[in-house]
Amino acid sequence: LSLLGEVYLQHGDSRDKARKVFEAALRMDSRCGAAVTGLADAHSMDGRHAAAVDVLERHLAVDASDWIHVKLGFVHMAANRLPDALHHLQTALSINPSNENAKRGLNRIDKLLKGGDGDEEEEEASLQYGTGGPLFE
């Protein structure tokens, strides 16, 4: 089901279908990481960052991995909650010091805090929405 949700998610006009598929996948297996991140991505892509954070934080109880913290960091960054983003990205690095996505996120926060625009749309999209992440390699 998660793969079907990913297909729907890639088509902007099908995000509601994607959300429903990811929710169904989570009803079948609440520990399904692909469904968790897919549902969070669907919410975040529609600007519902609070809903994305809720999905990811609930999953932290069963999987406090570095990649969940990276996802939380990028969702918080998209919502301009930089202190929360910083916390999660630093936590990801403490779990896995070689996590390149966490390092890129911290660099982006540093640019934003120094007055830069932090405009790295392609990088943000690839990190925030799951391509190139541990679930999709």
62-85 residue pLDDT tens? 999 999 999 999 999 999 999 999
For residues 86 and 109, the answer to whether their CB atoms sit within 8 Å is: yes
pTM of the predicted model as reported, rounded to 2 decimal places? 0.79
Q: Which phi and psi angles does 56 have, rounded to 5°?
A: -70, -40
> Would you tell me which CATH number, out of the four given (3.90.1150.10, 1.25.40.10, 3.30.2310.20, 1.10.10.10), belongs to the domain 2-128?
1.25.40.10
pLDDT at 100 over 90: yes
Q: How far apart are CA 97 and CA 100, in angstroms?
A: 8
Residue in the structure block whose two tokens are 């999709």: 136
Confidence of residue 119 (pLDDT cuts 50, 70, 90): low
State the pLDDT at residue 1. Answer: 75
High-pLDDT (> 70) share of the chain, %:
85
* Count of beta carbons in the 10 Å neighbourhood of residue 20: 15
Q: Is the pLDDT reported for residue 135 higher than 90?
A: no
| The pair of three-digit structure tokens given for residue 110, joined into one six-digit string | 């540093």
Q: What is the mean pLDDT of residues 100-108?
A: 97
